[in-house]
Homo-oligomer: A and B are copies of this chain.
Amino acid sequence: MSVQEITLDDLNVEKFIETQVKEIKEAVGDDIAINALSGGVDSAVVTMLAYKAIGDNLKTYFIENGLMREGEPEQIVGWFKNLGVTVEIVDAKDKFFAALKGVTDPEEKREQGITQVFYKDVFADLVKQSGAKVLLQGTNFTDCEETAAGVKRQHNVFEQIGIDPQETFGYKVLEPIVQLRKPAVRAVARAVGLPGEISERPPFPGPALCARVIGEVTPDKIATVRKATVILDDELADVGAFQYMAILHDDMVTGLRDGGRDYGHQIEVRCWESTDAVTATPTELPFGTLRKLADRITTEVPGIVSVTYNVAAKPPNCMEAV
């Protein structure tokens, strides 16, 4: 791997920002650059670096894929409006759900349901319409490393998956934070003025709630796992974990409602302690918190009769199930 890491210890935040702003300015020139915000800290930092570099020559889009958390598109747009950055919401829900229909394999979900639709069906059109020559991406050092190791195919690492963006899509790709792991990205996030809600936000990957559904992804299943995710945000936001998530299982389990049998699904809760996502251990949540999560989820989320908490470390576990 030719990319060199800048560790948190070695990072000079102000100098890093200055260098990246300069490089973006030079690469874009008087052209238009385009980027997509996912709502996570990585793409948020890239947006701020690019906005500092080229101002209104940056077109930032939030692709509403139908897989986002409750109220997420509006919230993101609001945060950036406060920072002077205009973010345009693009409604592409139907395209994503059509591509995800019948797909159960996790790799296929990411590749056909997310990557291909995102780039070929949605983003390529935006690039053409906007007249942009440069695409900015929030690829970080851990993404590169895991993709190189074959652990997973990141949805945002063109070169690693053998696609030449210049040839395939006709534009140039910049990855300003590719040398940083998450703690360093957060340090830059604070320095570029992003609010704490973004700079300290637990990771939430590009495929969003799609990666939180085992088996075929449908609008109903996304609605179910979205409701469970709201409950986790209520109960776990203050725990200070690296990341937490609700996962909807495909397996059915026996439940009991109103004195009779009720087959239903299970929500699995994961909450991770980690510094860089390479290794992780489950957070020792108070048992009362786990019981409260279970009571709320089985009461408030239709179709859910059972709740588990993941207690295995990465490796051999992974942080995401899908």
A318 to chain B, nearest CB (A): 4
Contacts of A293 in B (CB 8 A): 311
One of A76-84, A222-230, A259-267 at the interface: A259-267
A116 close to B (CB within 8 Å): no
Chain A positions 265 through 287: 1 when the CB is less than 8 Å from some CB of chain B, otherwise 0: 00011000000000001101001
Asked if B306 and A317 sit within 8 Å, CB to CB, the answer is yes
Please, how many angstroms separate the alpha-carbon atoms of A309 and B287 in the complex? 11
A155 to chain B, nearest CB (A): 15
23 A-B pairs in the complex with CB atoms less than 8 angstroms apart = A106-B254, A150-B261, A249-B251, A254-B320, A254-B321, A255-B315, A256-B316, A257-B315, A257-B316, A268-B308, A282-B294, A284-B287, A290-B311, A293-B311, A294-B313, A295-B313, A298-B317, A306-B317, A306-B318, A306-B321, A307-B311, A307-B312, A309-B311
Q: A149-B259, A287-B284 given as contacts; is B308 within 8 A of A253 (CB)?
A: no
Please, how many angstroms separate the alpha-carbon atoms of A252 and B249 in the complex? 10
Among the interface residues A150, A250, A253, A255, which one has the most CB atoms of the partner chain B within 10 A?
A253
Please, how many angstroms separate the alpha-carbon atoms of A295 and B306 in the complex? 23
Asked if B253 and A318 sit within 8 Å, CB to CB, the answer is yes
Band of interface residues on A: 35 or more
Chain A stretch 204-254: residues in CB contact (< 8 A) with chain B: 214-215, 249-254
Contacts of A254 in B (CB 8 A): 106, 152, 318, 320-322
A151 close to B (CB within 8 Å): yes
Which 10 residue pairs spanning A and B have beta carbons closest together?
A: A308-B308, A294-B312, A256-B315, A307-B312, A290-B311, A253-B321, A254-B318, A294-B311, A284-B287, A214-B251
